[in-house]
């Protein structure tokens, strides 16, 4: 029987993974799910009704890039925005997960940025087209090291903030989430079967804004950790 790698017609692409704080091991990423609207002030700044329920979209797993990355400014956009978000990493999953079992699925938490080509997202929305062009581009999901729940528990409150070149842009609190983490897991598991390796970006507080080459974006979530990326010029 041939070795597994020999069974592919081309070399298999590498498995995207996220660093784990205090460990040499990494967390392998299966899918990236994102919550669209989950902080009231951000919903207002985007011009939507806060009574609308949050919804979900996805990014490809290989959109993950680590802490310290120089993210190249992506093509096509003139308005890339930062959205700092709490990242939830699952160690197990299932369908129709019960609310009181949802936290049991979580391996750990991290700090992420849902980078967004806002102009293209809004154009897609207005044309009733899919959001991928605005949300699912290369390197669109920077994610800092995960903190296992065995070390930090399950943070449900605490400051979530992003500064650009030292200037505070986003400054919220996890307690402002409209849907909390267990509720998000329950809802997602009604739509798809969740599994180990899935991560969820849980929505952003207000203060989203354009970011340009040269910007240093520093993110922090109290009790979870930090993430720093720099926006680099577009690839030549």
**Residue 201 Cβ vs Mn ion, minimum distance, rounded to whole Å:** 6
> DSSP class of residue 172?
E
How many whole angstroms separate alpha carbon 233 and alpha carbon 230?
10
Interface size with Mn ion, residues (CB under 5 A):
3
How many whole angstroms separate alpha carbon 139 and alpha carbon 131?
16
How far is CA 153 from its chain centroid? 19
- Output 83 or 220, the one with its CB closest to Mn ion: 83
Tokens of 224: 């979870």
Q: Binders of Mn ion among 73-132, rule CB under 5 A?
A: 83, 114
- Output 114 or 215, the one with its CB closest to Mn ion: 114
- Output 113 or 194, the one with its CB closest to Mn ion: 113
**Residue 57 Cβ vs Mn ion, minimum distance, rounded to whole Å:** 9
Cα torsion for 6, 8, 10, 14, to the nearest 10°?
-90
Q: Is residue 149 part of the contact set for Mn ion (CB under 5 A)?
A: no
Q: Which residue has the tokens 């949050």?
A: 54
**Residue 127 Cβ vs Mn ion, minimum distance, rounded to whole Å:** 20
Query: In the complex, which residue's CB is closest to Mn ion?
Result: 114
**Residue 178 Cβ vs Mn ion, minimum distance, rounded to whole Å:** 13
Sole binder of Mn ion in the list 38, 149, 204, 211 (CB under 5 A): 204
220: left (phi > 0), else alpha (psi -120 to 50), else beta? Answer: beta
């Amino acid at each position: 029987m041939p070795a597994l790698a020999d069974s592919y017609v081309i070399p298999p692409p590498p498995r995207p993974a996220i660093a784990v704080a205090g460990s040499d091991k990494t967390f392998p990423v299966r899918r990236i799910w994102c919550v669209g609207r989950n902080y009231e002030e951000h919903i207002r700044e985007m011009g939507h009704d806060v009574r609308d329920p949050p919804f979900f979209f996805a990014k490809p797993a290989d959109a993950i890039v680590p802490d310290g990355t120089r993210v190249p400014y992506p093509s096509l956009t003139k308005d890339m925005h930062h959205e700092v978000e709490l990242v939830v990493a699952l160690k197990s999953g299932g369908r129709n997960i019960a609310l009181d079992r949802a936290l049991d699925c979580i391996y750990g938490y991290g700090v992420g940025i849902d980078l967004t080509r806002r102009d293209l997202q809004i154009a897609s929305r207005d044309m009733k087209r899919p959001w991928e062009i605005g949300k699912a581009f290369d390197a669109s999901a920077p994610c800092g090291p995960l903190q296992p729940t065995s070390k930090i528990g399950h943070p449900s409150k605490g400051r979530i903030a992003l500064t650009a070149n030292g200037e505070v842009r986003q400054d919220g609190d996890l307690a402002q989430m409209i849907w909390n983490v267990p509720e998000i897991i329950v809802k997602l598991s009604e739509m798809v079967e969740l599994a180990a390796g899935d991560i969820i970006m849980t929505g952003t507080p207000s203060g989203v804004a354009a970011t340009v080459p040269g910007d240093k974006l520093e993110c922090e979530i109290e009790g979870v950790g930090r993430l720093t990326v720099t926006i680099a010029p577009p690839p030549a």
